[in-house]
């Protein structure tokens, strides 16, 4: 396993192999979530957050997905101040990307 560290001021989007993830920040938490909607592959990273911050709403069909369920499909991660770290397999390619999402 290898650890990948992101500086939140530089990137909020990461590609692991062919799958992309975005950082969704809420008042006291930051989650690494898949960018595609589980329903039809819509741009989940462009969706709105529910008022309580517990769900992300897909902009294509207005389906709401609980953040806790989306996190299960993401690599393990942790945030400490402006540093965000995730763990990927030794053979997996992980590339931090520039700020591409509405969540920053």
CATH at 49: 2.102.10.10
3-state helix, strand, coil in the chain (%, to 5): 10, 50, 45
Into how many domains does the chain fold?
A: 1
Which residue shows structure tokens 């509405």? 102
Question: Does a structural domain hold residue 68?
Answer: yes
Question: Does a structural domain hold residue 94?
Answer: no
Residues spanned by the domain of 8: 2-88
CA distance 33 to 72: 9
Question: Does a structural domain hold residue 73?
Answer: yes
Record the pTM: 0.76
3-state secondary structure of 46: helix
Q: CB–CB of 33/42 below 8 Å?
A: no
Give me the tens of pLDDT residue by residue for the chain, a chain 104 residues long.
888 888 877 777 888 888 888 888 776 778 888 888 988 888 888 888 888 888 899 999 999 999 889 888 888 888 888 888 888 888 877 777 765 545 44
CA distance 28 to 87: 21
């Amino acid at each position: 396993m290898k650890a990948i560290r992101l500086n939140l001021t530089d990137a909020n989007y990461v590609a692991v192999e062919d799958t992309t993830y975005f950082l969704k920040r809420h008042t006291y938490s930051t989650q690494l979530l898949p960018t595609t909607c589980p329903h039809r592959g819509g741009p989940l990273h462009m969706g709105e957050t529910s008022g309580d911050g517990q769900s992300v709403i897909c902009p294509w069909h207005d389906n709401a997905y609980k953040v806790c369920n989306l996190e299960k499909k993401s690599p393990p991660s942790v945030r400490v101040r402006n540093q965000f770290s995730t763990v990927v397999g030794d053979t997996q390619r992980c590339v931090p990307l520039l700020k591409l999402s509405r969540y920053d």
